[in-house]
Structure 1
Amino acid sequence: QLDAQDQTLRLTATDLSHHLTATIPCEVSEPGTIVLPAGPLAHLIHRLPTATFTLTTDAATGQATIRYGRNKAVLNGFGSDTLPQFPAMPSDALTVSLPAGTLSTLHRQLVFACAHDETRPVLQGVSAQITAGRFLLAATDGSRLSYTELPVPDYAGADQSFIIPPKVLIEGARLNTTQAITLTLDSGLIRVATPGLMLTSRLVDGQYPDYQRVIPAEYAHQFRITRADLQKSLERLQLMATKDVSPVHLHLAPGRLTLSLQSSEVGHIEETFDCPTQGQPLDVLFNPRYLLDAMKSLDGEEALIELSGPQSPARIRSVNDAPYFHIALPLRQLA
């Protein structure tokens, strides 16, 4: 829906689960409102050869004419009352202010770990809890877990829990803003707002599982390695992987890490790194894609991988001890 008045164009779009509103300055000769098909309108505007254009509506025909230079395009519209209304956000909803760029970071750290199985809609979302001045966020598909937390020192209300649809973080990451982001949550809705742009979505219904129980309390083995080196090594190893999961074998020895992957169809690859280690020698198998995704989600130059044993989850994080970490489950115990 396009609503032009007071030298401002207000654009509203919805897919019934998500509601986006944007306001931009423009020259308004005569106020008016029209509903246009989002796809054709967006693709046309994106491809216009001129920086400016004129849009005129005709109430009699329900059409909008877009003029650019000597050219024009006519789009068939709908009545202004055809756009479904979205529930209003309660005035007493929880509101949190986040620094610019936060949603982009959360998208990189969390969304990849969400489940893609539509039979588990709860795990398709991101768990969000606010408690004691901290905003705790986690995502898991049952085989891996990403976790981070943000400080919210200004919040003094009761503990609350929500499940955020991943699309909120995906779309929020696209916001190119240098200003703070306002996050508003209610029992059924979440809103992300920046100056001139507001995305409102329905929260995911359900109870998120207790993910804390899969996080080991202590670790007997660890190694530290340059993140880029391990990431590139995993990319090379994955070239040998077949369509079915070909596990990467990690052999940890004092001062040394060896990664290997064998495929009966493609071949075999083995790479060794000198790196600081702690604990006894260890052999463990992982899905190489899970480790690679974890490397891509980290900040900093060095990664720290901590393990308890060949069948225990591994914790993957940056050496800088940031609140973000990733938990990956091994595939199976080596024979």
Structure 2
Amino acid sequence: MKISIERAALLKAMSRAQGVVERRTTIPILSNVLIEAEGAAVSFRATDLDIEIRESMPAMVSTAGSTTAPAHVLHEIARKLPDGATVTLDDAVGDGRLEVTAGRARFTLPTLPREDFPVMASAEYQTSYEIAAPALRRLFEKANFAISTEETRYYLNGVYLHAPEATPPKLRAVATDGHRLARIDTDLPEGAAGCPGVIVPRKTVGELRKLLEDDEATIAVSVSETKIRFAASDLTLTSKVIDGAFPDYTRVIPANNTKRMEVDAADFARTVDRVATVSAERSRAVKLSLSEDRLTLSVNAPDSGSATDEMAVAYTDEPMEIGFNAKYLLEIAGQVDRENAVLLFNGPGDPTLVREGDDDSAIYVVMPMRV
């Protein structure tokens, strides 16, 4: 195999590939990227056995063929080469080596047999549909912060993507770690009705962002009970889904919270961040004291001091006090795209519902804490 490719194209492909490749693995071939050249195109494929990413692009192919090379090293080489360089990859040097040249720079990398590279078995996908990249990106980006990192509850280590029974029909993403929950809706794409609900793993959600950078792109989504595939033009991401049952999240979304506070989302985030400066890092507890059109935020950390701040809000119900983890409030406030956030309370011991203005296509639930 011998190809020539622009440095920018190689860097882009390797940036995506090396995100999938594990730096530490007991299976040496998984540290490599599979390079396949044929016709006037080259493809790069990387996998960790749970996720596979494949990207094709135009290249000058002198000799067709395939080989594998260390993904992270090839990425670093491409990153450090000068802009505008043309990179040549040639495995005809013998001794199981790949020669990488660009101008006067020359590198020789070890390769492993192409036959050893695992290719994810193709699945029979039950449902396939197309969705605009911005709509799919919104679903995952807004839910991503609430994914659990506790490995014991592995079924919470991802985003639950499904089409619930709703009028009008919706495609929904849900994530929760037991302390906060995000539920994001978009219009149901044509062909997505009856789509099996799947839990998309946290790592896949992170890698998917690279696929959704182009606002003009349309993503083809294929879903089975064990795999999900996202494809856009010459880039395909295939992932196993988490084998587990996502809990009934509807039971923890409060329906009868009547105490309503409306607040400027950006000002609220800044005020929470200010008073949390003195809070104990472990709990970062902040107390919200509500009275008519007035919110007082306070922190009392015996070892590091105390802080209070006030802001004007729209609130007309009876006074109340409630405590939250400051980090959770900041993360939710950071998701609000509209100017105002609406917080709906019931009592100091009950979960709080957060909306973006009057829009219920994105709702968040946060559990209170003692302060």
Q: CA deviation at 1:59?
A: 7.0
Tell me, what secondary structure is at the counterpart of 1:105?
A: helix
Q: CA deviation at 1:235?
A: 1.2
Q: CA deviation at 1:244?
A: 2.2
Residue of structure 2 in register with 1:8 after alignment: 41
Q: In the alignment, which of 274, 288, 293 is matched to residue 255 of structure 1? A: 293
Is residue 101 from structure 1 mapped to residue 134 from structure 2 by the alignment? yes
Bigger Cα displacement from structure 2, 17-26 vs 181-190 = 181-190
Percent of aligned positions that are identical: 28
Is residue 150 from structure 1 mapped to residue 186 from structure 2 by the alignment? yes
Equivalent residues in 2 for 1:205-284, closer than 5 Å: 205-284=243-322
Tell me, what secondary structure is at the counterpart of 1:323?
A: strand
Residue of structure 1 in register with 2:226 after alignment: 188
Residue of structure 1 in register with 2:175 after alignment: 139
Residue of structure 2 in register with 1:298 after alignment: 336
**CA offsets 1:205-232 (integer angstroms, 9 cap, x no match):** 0111111111111212111111110011
Give the aligned length: 332
Matched-pair contact (CA < 8 Å) for 1:225–1:275: yes
Equivalent residues in 2 for 1:72-151, closer than 5 Å: 72-90=106-124, 92-132=125-165, 133-151=169-187
Distance in structure 2 (CA, Å) of the matches to 1:107 and 1:148: 8
Q: CA deviation at 1:104?
A: 3.4
Is residue 48 from structure 1 mapped to residue 81 from structure 2 by the alignment? yes
**CA offsets 1:57-91 (integer angstroms, 9 cap, x no match):** 1274221111111121111101111111202032x
**TM-score, structure 1 normalization:** 0.95
1:25 partner letter: P
Residue of structure 2 in register with 1:64 after alignment: 98
Tell me, what secondary structure is at the counterpart of 1:45?
A: helix
**Residues 153 and 68 of structure 1: CA distance in aligned 2, closer, same or farther (over 3 Å):** closer
Tell me, what secondary structure is at the counterpart of 1:280?
A: coil
Gaps (5+ residues) in structure 1? none
The two structures, once aligned, show a CA RMSD in angstroms of 1.6
Tell me, what secondary structure is at the counterpart of 2:205?
A: helix
Residue of structure 1 in register with 2:210 after alignment: 174
Q: CA deviation at 1:155?
A: 2.8
Tell me, what secondary structure is at the counterpart of 2:331?
A: helix
Distance in structure 2 (CA, Å) of the matches to 1:96 and 1:257: 46
Distance in structure 2 (CA, Å) of the matches to 1:259 and 1:156: 44
**Residues 184 and 153 of structure 1: CA distance in aligned 2, closer, same or farther (over 3 Å):** closer
1:166 partner letter: R
Matched-pair contact (CA < 8 Å) for 2:127–2:195: no
Matched-pair contact (CA < 8 Å) for 1:247–1:288: yes
Matched-pair contact (CA < 8 Å) for 1:18–1:200: yes
**CA offsets 1:111-163 (integer angstroms, 9 cap, x no match):** 11111111111011111221453212110101111101121241364362211
Distance in structure 1 (CA, Å) of the matches to 2:293 and 2:126: 53
Tell me, what secondary structure is at the counterpart of 2:73?
A: helix
**Residues 195 and 322 of structure 1: CA distance in aligned 2, closer, same or farther (over 3 Å):** farther
Bigger share in helix: 2
Q: In the alignment, which of 164, 183, 187 is matched to residue 200 of structure 2? A: 164
Matched-pair contact (CA < 8 Å) for 1:249–1:286: yes
1:64 partner letter: L
Following TM superposition, the consecutive aligned residue runs of length 4 or more in structure 1 with deviations greater than 4 angstroms are none
Distance in structure 1 (CA, Å) of the matches to 2:183 and 2:118: 36
Tell me, what secondary structure is at the counterpart of 2:55?
A: strand
**TM-score, structure 2 normalization:** 0.86
**CA offsets 1:168-219 (integer angstroms, 9 cap, x no match):** 2211112322211122111100111111111101000011111111111121
Distance in structure 1 (CA, Å) of the matches to 2:51 and 2:303: 45
Matched-pair contact (CA < 8 Å) for 1:35–1:82: no
